[in-house]
């Protein structure tokens, strides 16, 4: 999970905590571990490039990417184009 934008570190923390709580604060099985990163100071183009070209899970094949955009403004087309061009 790669978070970008305003207060993106809180999204990173929230996903980390949800993953930890799912396993009652114990050991997380390798195939259930969620790697998270936050990118407050990186251009979105770099985050998209990394997601497309370098993101991987050590034990689970990543078959697709889901872009989640939370905003009052609809930027779906713009973001899909930016992701395609990354």
Kindly report, residue by residue over 16-40, the tens digit of the pLDDT.
Answer: 999 999 999 999 999 999 999 999 9
Using a 10 angstrom Cβ sphere, with 0-12 exposed, 13-18 middle and 19 or more buried, the burial of residue 38 is buried
Total number of domains constituting the chain: 1
Dist. CA 81–CA 2, nearest whole Å: 18
Residue 42 has pLDDT above 90, yes or no: yes
Domain with 44 in it: 2-85
What pLDDT is attached to residue 58? 87
List pLDDT tens digits, range 47-67. 999 999 999 888 999 898 999
């Amino acid at each position: 999970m790669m978070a970008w934008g305003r207060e993106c570190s809180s999204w990173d923390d929230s996903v980390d905590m949800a993953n930890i709580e799912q396993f009652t604060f114990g050991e997380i099985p390798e195939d259930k571990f969620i790697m998270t990163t936050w990118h407050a100071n990186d251009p979105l183009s770099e985050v998209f490039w990394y997601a497309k070209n370098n993101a991987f899970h050590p034990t689970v094949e990543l078959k697709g990417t889901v872009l989640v955009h939370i905003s009052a403004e609809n930027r779906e087309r713009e973001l899909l184009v930016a992701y395609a061009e990354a």
